């Protein structure tokens, strides 16, 4: 749920943009978020990344 909300804040309500982001290789994460979130450490990394993108320092 947090991934969905965080991603929604970045790309809006466009399902195609959400899917594109989740399916594309992300260099900062070292993989595709859709694959990474299948494991706890990938989920945490993806959430941290999205949170940082929403509220940059």
pLDDT in tens, 16-52: 999 999 999 999 999 999 999 999 999 999 999 998 8
| pLDDT range class, residue 56, cuts 50, 70, 90 | low
In this prediction the pTM is 0.86
User: So where are the chain's domains?
Assistant: 2-54
pLDDT above 80 for 55: no
30 and 24 in contact (C-beta within 8 Å)?
no
Tell me the C-alpha distance between 55 and 20, whole Å: 21
């Amino acid at each position: 749920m947090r991934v969905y909300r965080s991603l929604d804040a970045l790309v809006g309500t466009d399902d195609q943009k959400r899917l594109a982001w989740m399916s594309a290789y992300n260099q900062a994460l070292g993989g595709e978020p859709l694959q990474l979130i299948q494991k706890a450490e990938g989920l945490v990394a993806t959430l941290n990344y999205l949170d940082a993108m929403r509220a940059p320092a």
